[in-house]
Amino acid sequence: MESSGIPRVVVAAALVDIRERVLACCRRGPSALAGGWEFPGGKVEPGEDEVAALVRECREELGVDVEVGSVLGEVPLPADGWVLRVRFGRIIAGEPRLITHSAHRWLARDELDDVPWLAPDAPLIEDLRRYLGTAPPDTRSGV
């Protein structure tokens, strides 16, 4: 943890489309993570807020602009003092491109087990499955 006792945060987006599908991305590297699937995102930089970090990461990794919504969940990471915080979101401009990932797929509720999720993301899949199809899109995105 930082000296303040506040955990360092990795943010990720459960990007949901109009058809109630979520975007999953396959890691290109490093080798220990290559081939694993995750929600797109990355580290919050010092002085950056989580929403701005997630908008930046989605632009860098996918070439899209996103609107960030409510928190899906949080998972402690193996690195001491780090957490993964996944938020709902939606793409508001652009089409996802393979910039930093080797593949991506839009997964429906019944397809969430079709990819091998990385360990930090996997605990949130059941929460996501329960949530998909139960709330209108404007509730998830926070707009």
At 62, give phi and psi (nearest 5°).
-125, -15
| pTM score | 0.87
pLDDT at 84: 96
Domain membership of residue 107 (yes or no) is yes
Domain membership of residue 2 (yes or no) is no
The partner residues of 74 in beta bridges, in order of sequence, read 85
Domain membership of residue 3 (yes or no) is no
pLDDT at 107: 97
Summarize pLDDT for 106-138 with one digit per residue, the tens.
Answer: 999 999 999 999 999 999 999 999 888 665 454
pLDDT at 32: 87
Summarize pLDDT for 81-103 with one digit per residue, the tens.
Answer: 899 999 999 999 999 999 999 99
Domain membership of residue 1 (yes or no) is no
The answer to whether 85 and 69 have CB atoms below 8 angstroms apart is: no
CATH number at residue 12: 3.90.79.10
pLDDT at 1: 44
The count of domains in the chain is 1
Can you tell me whether residue 57 is helix, strand or coil?
helix
Domain membership of residue 116 (yes or no) is yes
Domain membership of residue 73 (yes or no) is yes
**Mean pLDDT, rounded, for 70-75:** 96
Domain membership of residue 132 (yes or no) is yes
| Distances in whole angstroms, Cα of residue 134 to Cα of each of 127, 131, 137 | 11, 5, 9
pLDDT at 17: 95
Summarize pLDDT for 21-57 with one digit per residue, the tens.
Answer: 999 999 998 988 999 999 999 999 999 999 999 999 9
Expressed as residue numbers, the domain containing 68 is 8-141
pLDDT at 142: 47
pLDDT at 52: 98
Domain membership of residue 79 (yes or no) is yes
